[in-house]
Amino acid sequence: MTLLTRKEAAAMLGMSLPTLDIERSTGRLAYIQRKPGSKVWITEEAIAEYLARATHQARPEIRTYRRRA
């Protein structure tokens, strides 16, 4: 299990630190914190789970054709 700092995790996810903190506080991103106010660690597994939940299946393109009048 690899532990990442908030800054490293934010860079890996391509988001800012405030956005990462929002994702943590809303429960969408799991994290480790030994006691309140101490350093926060995020595992690579937590990042993989977050990305899996945020990934949606691609929809096939639906083409519509108009009849010429």
pLDDT in tens, 14-64: 999 999 999 999 999 999 999 998 999 999 999 999 999 988 888 888 777
Q: Give 59's DSSP letter.
A: P
For the entire predicted model, the pTM comes to 0.74
- The three-class DSSP label of residue 68 is coil
Going 19 to 23 to 24 to 29, the CA torsion angle's sign is: negative
pLDDT at 69: 66
pLDDT at 22: 96
Alpha-carbon gap, residue 41 to 33, rounded angstroms? 6
31 — phi, psi (to 5°)?
A: -150, 170
Sorted by sequence, the CB contacts under 8 Å of residue 31 that are 6+ apart come out as 24, 40, 41, 42, 46
pLDDT at 46: 97
